[in-house]
Amino acid sequence: MATESQKQERAFAKKVGGLSVPASGAFWSRKGDVRSDDLLVEAKTTDKASFSIKKAIWEKIRREALLDGRTPVLAIQIQNRNLVVLDEEDFLELRSNAARHMGEGAVPQPP
């Protein structure tokens, strides 16, 4: 039976068109919990009311993503509320791309 973190990883992978990584990225060639063409995701889940983001967690996924040519993402599930953490530069690029697409008449739709 899948753990809550495995369920979170699989659900997020489906949403971004990626794959859940076996052994949660333990293999040297397949880092991260979820991989898509453009994202490397570290997924965390908790039933507690809070989750602390340590710099070491972010730096790990950031370094691995940059070496792999992907955007680093930290997906956090806190009591069934799904949150995503991005580097500010990546967020601003995402926002700029969305505005550019909206200017072309296309409205980005969630998967």
pLDDT of 6 reads 87
Q: What is the pLDDT of residue 21?
A: 86
CB 105 within 8 A of CB 98: no
Structure tokens of 2?
């899948």
Q: Report how far apart, in Å, the C-alpha atoms of 34 and of each of 9, 51, 97, 105 are.
A: 6, 20, 23, 31
pLDDT score, position 109 = 59
> Which residues are 19's β-sheet partners?
35
Fold classified for 4-103: Trna Endonuclease; Chain: A, domain 1 (3.40.1350)
Given a cut of 70, the residues of the chain with pLDDT beneath it are 1, 23-30, 104-111
- Output the pLDDT for position 102: 79
**Segment 83-92, tens digit of pLDDT:** 999 999 999 9
